[in-house]
């Protein structure tokens, strides 16, 4: 059995500027999975940097309000919203609310630094 609490995960600032805590990654735990799972936070009034991954990604919003941008599309997101981001799509999310925007990030196959490209604007 494997269980991990968010409070026990080290917090760090990701390349896109979001605040992450990695919950599951096949390279860092004795679990058999292809995907990685992280908890992300974007504070009120902030947005992540545009970036793209070689892998597909799913965001699942747990708290807050935001505007998701994927390539040329933008749409509002909030709690209980799942967002699919295809491989190589330029993406960023902005917090449009007054509280933290929190979401889970599932990357399949698992996130790797060399598979991400972050843009300045």
CATH of the domain at 15: 2.60.120.10
Q: Is residue 105 part of a domain?
A: yes
pLDDT digits (tens, 9 = 90+) for 30-62: 778 899 999 999 999 999 999 999 999 999 999
Phi and psi (nearest 5°) for 114? Answer: -70, -10
Q: Is residue 116 part of a domain?
A: no
Number of compact structural domains in the chain? 1
Beta bridge partners of 42: 101
Q: Could you tell me the residue range of the domain that residue 38 belongs to?
A: 9-109
Q: Is residue 78 part of a domain?
A: yes
Secondary-structure breakdown of the chain: helix, strand, coil percentages, each rounded to the nearest 5? 5, 50, 45
Q: Is residue 115 part of a domain?
A: no
pLDDT digits (tens, 9 = 90+) for 66-87: 999 999 999 999 999 999 999 9
Q: Is residue 1 part of a domain?
A: no
What stretch of H or E contains 118? strand 116-118
Q: Which residues lie closer than 8 Å to 1 by C-beta, 6 or more apart?
A: none
pLDDT digits (tens, 9 = 90+) for 91-110: 999 999 999 999 999 999 99
Q: Is residue 52 part of a domain?
A: yes
Q: Is residue 119 part of a domain?
A: no
As given in the structure block, the two tokens for residue 79 are 């709690």
């Amino acid at each position: 059995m494997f269980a991990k609490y968010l409070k026990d995960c080290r917090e760090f600032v990701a390349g896109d500027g979001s605040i992450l805590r990695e919950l599951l990654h096949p390279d860092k735990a004795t679990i058999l999975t292809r995907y990685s799972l992280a908890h992300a936070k974007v504070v009120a009034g902030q947005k992540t940097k545009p970036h793209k991954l070689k892998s597909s990604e799913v965001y699942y919003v747990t708290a807050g309000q935001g505007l998701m941008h994927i390539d040329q599309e933008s749409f509002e997101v909030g709690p209980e919203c799942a967002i699919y981001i295809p491989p190589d799509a330029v993406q960023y999310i902005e917090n449009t609310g007054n509280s933290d925007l929190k979401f889970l990030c599932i990357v399949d196959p698992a996130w790797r630094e060399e598979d991400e490209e972050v843009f300045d604007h």
